[in-house]
Amino acid sequence: MSGKIYEWKDITENRKIKTRVCIIGTGCGGATLASELTKLGVDVVMLEQGGYYPTYTFDNHELNMAGKVSAERNLQTTADGAINLVYGNNVGGASVHYWADSYRTPADRLEMWQSEYGIEHHTEKDLIPAWDELDKRLNVHPATDEYLNPMNRLVEKGAKRLGWSGHRVPQARKHCQKSGHCMQGCAFAAKQSQLVTHIDDVVKRGGTIYSDARAERLKMDGGKVRSLLARVIDRPSGKDGPYTIEIEADAFVVAAGGFGSSTFLLKNDLKKKLPVLGEFLGMNPSPFVHALYAQDVIQWRNIPAGFGVDHFRKPVYDAKGNYVEGGYLLMPNQLHPGTLAAMIPGMGKEHQQWMSALPRVGGTIGWIDDVRTELGRIEMDGDVRKVHYSFGRVGAMMIRDLLKKQVLINFAAGAEKVLIPDNRATLLTSPDQIDVIDGISLRPGTLLMAAPHPSGGCRMGADAKTSVVNSEHRVHGFDNLYVADSSVFPTGVSVDPSYTIMAFSYVAARSISGAL
């Protein structure tokens, strides 16, 4: 029997529901978990605080879509205003606006998580069967030539000239139309987001999804969660509606995302029991540059990242332990005209000149790996969530190094000028000026950066003093409360995280169903 996706308008009175497993969040973590559980014949109910936007409602209008599939229209920042937090708030979570880069977790990272953090059952050997299956379901293949837009080709050319290693990025796409509207939700259902894959599977197998339903309060009895109370949101006004849904279940899983899961558990007053809840937050801070080319680049068409530079994935330290370079992936950037207008620094004539030349404006971006850098933390100030993240001394060095490498690769690819999105609109006309990067202020609010890959906050590990969940994804001290998303990662993944999140959910599904 087929399941159903309910919206706010379907709920006209308070509801009480019983199920086997209740999952909070419908992103890569929650949807993959629900898909696996329903495959095993387990009854699931999913809650999603965001709206349900089926593919036929996508209109390719950048600003309309930001209001639907980008939480807070991408305007949330860290508490100090330094970094933009980018995440999903809709059925399918951030996968609806992600780039579909689908990397298996590097073996060195899984080994480190095992040896340094004591994580079990998540070795490469454990995860390969999940990825093999996901490759088929999400149609993951390395990007071929036809999907490389001019900016991708320029990055490939620049890397070759500089002798930097790169690769064709594995992509979760089927019959891609090259529209370039990946970040607005794919109107062709070609990008294999959770919305058009695992969510679809869950509904076909009888799973129930309540969109517009914010999970609020766990009702607990010692170490056992009895039920969960959710508030139905009145979508047209965005305000709390009058109705609630109470779910009784044998197991409850928090899959509310890297920024959401620890927030939910903190709101449920679990910090006293779990001292590191909300700690060790990573977010792959992502500095980027703009570059002006002689020819049209039209960065907003075709897929965002078909070619990536992995030469600097692992940070290099000298014999004394001093940072030398690296610790990030470097990619072509894809921003659309409305976002570019906000992200290109400067005012008046200078800004207008860049905007008039928009088809020739390309750029690059990179994700700093949160591993040896200082990690952040989420705390509640009353009802208000505060996200703190200070990249620390090494993190700051990585940011400057990544900016320099982006300047070099754009010039190597033939850029006429490179513009840094800092408060001084620093402009370079030659790679010889690279030292100006050392003078760029990294104080909050001076350099635009995004954070699309949150991790941590509910770190996995054996000890309740230093972690929140065990290797079975079960919250320490609870019989039936679990976490299944990027918030369990002990550090950043060192590549884009979606495929790690999904493979971890395969493991979580086995643990949870085994304990029912």
Ligand X SMILES: Cc1cc2nc3c(=O)[nH]c(=O)nc-3n(C[C@H](O)[C@H](O)[C@H](O)COP(=O)(O)OP(=O)(O)OC[C@H]3O[C@@H](n4cnc5c(N)ncnc54)[C@H](O)[C@@H]3O)c2cc1C
Structure tokens at 101: 């880069």
Q: Which of 3, 21, 30, 478 binds ligand X (CB under 6 A)?
A: 30
CB 96 within 8 A of CB 87: no
Region from 251-259, 291-299, 332-340, 472-480 binding ligand X, contact rule CB under 6 A: 251-259
CB 253 within 8 A of CB 228: no
CB 392 within 8 A of CB 418: no
Q: Does 109 bind ligand X (CB under 6 A)?
A: no
Q: How far is the CB of 47 from ligand X (least distance, A)?
A: 5
Q: Does 181 bind ligand X (CB under 6 A)?
A: no
C-beta closer to ligand X: residue 106 or 431: 106
C-beta closer to ligand X: residue 332 or 497: 497
Q: Which of 65, 189, 245, 255 binds ligand X (CB under 6 A)?
A: 255
SS (H, E, C) 373-410: CCCEEEEEECCEEEEECCCHHHHHHHHHHHHHHHHHHH
C-beta closer to ligand X: residue 90 or 494: 90
Q: Which of 11, 38, 48, 313 binds ligand X (CB under 6 A)?
A: 48
Q: Dihedral angle at the C-alpha atoms of 339, 345, 348, 351, nearest 10 degrees?
A: -70
Q: How many CB atoms sit inside 10 A of residue 346's CB?
A: 17
C-beta closer to ligand X: residue 203 or 215: 215
Q: Does 65 bind ligand X (CB under 6 A)?
A: no
C-beta closer to ligand X: residue 260 or 326: 260
Q: Does 23 bind ligand X (CB under 6 A)?
A: no
Largest CA distance in the chain: 67
Q: How far is the CB of 210 from ligand X (least distance, A)?
A: 9
Q: How far is the CB of 393 from ligand X (least distance, A)?
A: 27
Owner of token pair 């919305």: 195
Q: How far is the CB of 408 from ligand X (least distance, A)?
A: 24
Distance (Å) of CA 168 to CA 196, 331, 412: 24, 11, 19
Q: Does 480 bind ligand X (CB under 6 A)?
A: no
C-beta closer to ligand X: residue 98 or 293: 98
Q: How far is the CB of 153 from ligand X (least distance, A)?
A: 19
CB 149 within 8 A of CB 179: no
Q: How far is the CB of 479 from ligand X (least distance, A)?
A: 21
Amino acid at 241: G
How many residues touch ligand X under the rule CB under 6 A: the total is 42
User: d(Cα 104, Cα 500) in Å, to the nearest integer?
Assistant: 6
SS (H, E, C) 14-41: CEEEEEEEEEECCCHHHHHHHHHHHHCC
Torsional class of 274: left (φ above 0), alpha (ψ -120 to 50), beta (otherwise)? beta
Helix axis angle for 124-137 and 107-117, nearest 10°, is 140
Q: Does 281 bind ligand X (CB under 6 A)?
A: no
Q: Does 315 bind ligand X (CB under 6 A)?
A: no
Distance (Å) of CA 192 to CA 4, 48, 65, 149, 188: 20, 19, 18, 20, 10
Region from 46-54, 311-319, 331-339, 424-432 binding ligand X, contact rule CB under 6 A: 46-54
Q: Which of 256, 292, 440, 507 binds ligand X (CB under 6 A)?
A: 256
Amino acid at 467: S
Q: Does 131 bind ligand X (CB under 6 A)?
A: no
Q: Does 486 bind ligand X (CB under 6 A)?
A: yes
User: d(Cα 480, Cα 218) in Å, to the nearest integer?
Assistant: 12
Q: Does 406 bind ligand X (CB under 6 A)?
A: no
Burial class (CB in 10 A: 0-12, 13-18, 19+), 216: middle
C-beta closer to ligand X: residue 47 or 415: 47
Q: Does 506 bind ligand X (CB under 6 A)?
A: no
Q: How far is the CB of 227 from ligand X (least distance, A)?
A: 15
User: d(Cα 444, Cα 357) in Å, to the nearest integer?
Assistant: 29
- The residues in 201-220 that bind ligand X, with binding defined as CB under 6 A, are 214-215
Binding mask 69-108 for ligand X (x = CB under 6 A): -----------------xxxxx--xxx-xxxxx-------
Amino acid at 516: L
- What residue ranges bind ligand X (CB under 6 A)? 24-30, 47-50, 86-90, 93-95, 97-101, 183, 214-215, 255-258, 260, 264, 452-453, 485-486, 496-499, 501
